[in-house]
Amino acid sequence: MTYKFHLLHLTAIAVVLNLSVGSSIAQLDPDASGRENQVDMNTITTAVPFLMIAPDSRSGALGDAGVALSPDGNSLHWNAAKMVFSENELETSLSYAPWLRALVDDMNLAYLTMNRKINKRQAYGLALRYFSLGNITFTDQVGTTIRDFQPAELSLDAGFSQKFTDKFSGGVAGRFVHSNLTGGTSVSGAESKPGIAVAADVSMFYTNKNANWGGKKGTFNYGMNISNIGSKMSYTETAARDFIPANLRLGVAYTMELDDYNDITFTIDGNKLLVPTAPVYDQQDGNTIVSGYSNDVGTATGIVQSFYDAPGIVDFNDDGTYSILPGSIFREEMREINLGGGLEYTFSDVFAFRTGYFFEHWSKGNRQFITMGAGMKYTVFTIDLSYLVSTTQTNPLANTLRFTLRMQFSDLLDVGSAVN
């Protein structure tokens, strides 16, 4: 499918970027019955949001939860620290997801990854993520075609995992990000260029395989991953640089062994973008911040500021005075936390059935959906698929499918003889 964009409106390539919006639009919660329930729409936007898309079908079927799940071939995305606890010496995974099929028919995400144990206490992983935005036709102000282009974004990842004890590990990962959305197209002297950024992840993982609750054998996992800590990105020499989606993810998972053949896993993740929230500006001069903090800050300041900078609900009076609704700042901070979780049933480590739910408050993006999926293992191959059902109207993510092919090799490498 071909899409047309007027280059006059691409002065900062803002048509195809997720540039931060410096204003809040006051809207009422559909269920609101008074001013105390009013909510200001104030979504947090970043460059290269494709870094936050769940690439694989297993977590994609579990409400996009994965930081504390048992290790698999996609651990590098969710929590690099998990890799060293893998039961397999070598794992590879290839995932593919047609994206936003409710809107377009040629946008897709591909993810290729590999994890390998170095010895019993160390492991590393590599990954390539490629996001194609389909075909776009650029036009000038009067509609004359300038060129056709296929925008694409990619990231190259490398991660390392170190086991500190038999139950605890840490991980780090580095990431190179390249985002080419315009192919160097320029207008009115505004030269565009691919956006480039480098970032890092820091993670930890705890597992207890003797967490026998309710009279059943079980495994309890806890995970944390701070991802995409890195440089800001710009697509022109003159435009302001935008944050990439630094994110804090915390989660737990518990696997109960029902009997020798049947297991069930419960998992839940909480996410918070470590990116500043847009403040509220004075309605008269449009430049003075009346609530919140400036989001024109560096990466480190932005990460710290993201925990307390929500502006809340501001009431402006006709005489120019204003007031901040008590408690609204804290409530908005809480709304910036997204929750996702699910349940996975496995039979004899051969068949798996999964379902989950993801929730994001409507004022912060309104992603709310049910997920489901299944997996089947045959020799060294595992095939997973997942399906997304939106619980909100006109959600472009509706009916999203993901496909994953994993390969696990338990005895291919002589890791057992390595140094502990």
More confident residue, 333 or 135: 333
Nearest to 13 by CA among 247, 175, 193: 193
Q: Please say if the pLDDT value at position 22 is more than 80.
A: no
User: What is the C-alpha to C-alpha distance for residues 292 and 145, in angstroms, rounded to an integer?
Assistant: 43
- For residue 375, what are the contacts with CB-CB under 8 A and spacing of at least 6? 57, 58, 351, 352, 354, 382, 383, 384, 385
Alpha helices in 278-339 (DSSP H): 299-305, 328-335
Give the pLDDT of residue 184: 76
One-character DSSP codes across 32-95: --SGGG-EEE-----S-GGGGS--SHHHHTTTT--SSSPP-TTHHHH-GGGGGG-SSSEEEEEE
Q: pLDDT class for 213, splitting at 50, 70, 90?
A: confident
User: What is the C-alpha to C-alpha distance for residues 172 and 83, in angstroms, rounded to an integer?
Assistant: 11
Q: pLDDT class for 293, splitting at 50, 70, 90?
A: very high
Q: Please say if the pLDDT value at position 27 is more than 70.
A: no
pLDDT of 108-140, one tens digit each?
A: 999 999 999 999 999 999 999 999 998 888 777
Q: pLDDT class for 250, splitting at 50, 70, 90?
A: very high
The mean pLDDT of the chain is 86
Give the pLDDT of residue 189: 60
Give the pLDDT of residue 19: 30
Flag whether the pTM goes above 0.85.
Answer: yes
CB atoms within 10 A of CB 104: 16
More confident residue, 150 or 237: 150
Cβ proximity of 284 and 309 under 8 Å: no
Cβ proximity of 386 and 401 under 8 Å: yes
Give the pLDDT of residue 110: 97
Share of the chain above pLDDT 70, in %: 86
The residue-averaged pLDDT of 47-62 equals 96
- For residue 300, what are the contacts with CB-CB under 8 A and spacing of at least 6? none
Handedness of CA 391, 394, 396, 398 (dihedral sign): positive
Give the pLDDT of residue 185: 76
More confident residue, 115 or 15: 115
Give the pLDDT of residue 4: 46
The alpha carbon torsion through 5, 9, 10, 14 (nearest 10 deg) reads -100
Cβ proximity of 275 and 246 under 8 Å: yes
DSSP state of 9: G
- For residue 120, what are the contacts with CB-CB under 8 A and spacing of at least 6? 163, 415, 416, 418, 419, 420
DSSP state of 331: H
Give the pLDDT of residue 227: 97
Q: In the chain, where are the structural domains located?
A: 46-275+338-409, 278-335
What CATH fold (topology level) applies to the domain 46-275+338-409? Porin (2.40.160)
pLDDT of 360-405, one tens digit each?
A: 999 998 999 999 999 999 999 999 999 999 898 767 778 889 999 9
Q: Please say if the pLDDT value at position 5 is more than 80.
A: no
The label of the residue with tokens 């997204």 reads 338
- For residue 33, what are the contacts with CB-CB under 8 A and spacing of at least 6? none
User: What is the C-alpha to C-alpha distance for residues 324 and 311, in angstroms, rounded to an integer?
Assistant: 8
Element (H, E) at 79: none
